[in-house]
Structure 1
Amino acid sequence: MDNTISKNLQEIQERIQKAAEECGRDPQSIRLVAVSKTKPAEMLRQAAAAGATIFGENYIQEAREKIAELESLDVEWHFIGHLQSNKAKYAVPLFSLIHSVDSFKLAGEIDKQAAKAGKIQDILVQVNISGEETKSGTADEEAATLVKEISALENVRVKGLMTMPPFFDDPDRARPFFRRLRELAQAIQNKGFKNVSMEELSMGMTGDFEAAIEEGATLVRVGTAIFGARNYN
Structure 2
Amino acid sequence: MNDLNQARNHVLEQIQQACLTANRDVSQVQLLAVSKTHSSEMLNAMYATGQRAFGENYLQEALDKIEALSDLEIDWHFIGHVQRNKTKHLAEKFAWVHGVDRLIIAERLSNQREATQAPLNICLQVNIDAQDTKDGCQPEEVADLVAQISQLPNLKLRGLMVIPAPNNPQAFLDAKTLFENVKPQHAHPEDWDTLSMGMSGDMSEAITAGSTMVRVGTALFGSRDYSKSV
Using the size of structure 2 for normalisation, the TM-score is 0.94
The CA deviation string for residues 186-225 of structure 1, in whole angstroms up to 9 with x for no partner, is 111133x213532000000000001101111111000001
Q: Return the TM-score normalized by structure 1.
A: 0.93
Cα-to-partner distance string for 1:47-77 (whole Å, 9 max, x where unaligned): 1111211100011111111011111222211
Cα distance in 2, alignment partners of residues 31 and 54 from structure 1: 9
**Which residue of structure 1 lines up, in the alignment, with residue 98 of structure 2?**
99
Counterpart Cα distance in 2 of 1:118 and 1:46: 28
- Find the aligned partners of 2:192 and 2:115 in 1 and give their Cα distance: 26
Look up the match of 1:144.
143
Match for residue 188 of structure 2? 195
Letter in 2 for 1:25: R
Moved more, 107-116 or 12-21: 107-116
SS at match of 2:77: strand
- Give the aligned residue type for 1:58: N
Question: Is 1:206 aligned with 2:171?
Answer: no
1:232 aligns with 2:220: no
Aligned to 1:171: none
Unaligned runs of 5+ in 1: 169-173
1:184 maps to 2:178 = yes
Matches within 5 A, 1:86-125: 86-115=85-114, 118-125=117-124
* C-alpha distance in structure 1 between counterparts of 2:144 and 2:166, whole Å: 27
How far apart, CA to CA, are the structure 2 residues paired with 1:113 and 1:209? 34
Residue 117 of structure 1 and its aligned partner are, at CA, apart by 5.9
Deviation track 1:6-57 (CA, whole Å, cap 9, x = no partner) reads 1111100111011111211110111100000010011111111112111000
Contact kept, 8 Å, 2:113 with 2:154, in 1: the verdict is yes
- How many residue pairs align between the two structures? 226
In the TM superposition, what are the counterparts of 1:156-167 in structure 2 within 5 Å? 156-167=155-166
Q: Secondary structure at the match of 1:138?
A: coil
The aligned amino acid for 2:223 is A
Q: Distance in 2 between matches of 1:129 and 1:148?
A: 19
The answer to whether 1:35 aligns with 2:34 is yes
Sequence identity, in percent?
40
AA in 2 matched with 1:23 = A
Counterparts in 2 of 1:113 and 1:44: CA distance versus 1, 3 Å: same
Q: In the aligned structure 2, how far is the partner of 1:28 from the partner of 1:151? A: 25
**Structure 1 moving runs of 4+ over 6 Å:** none
RMSD (CA atoms): 1.4
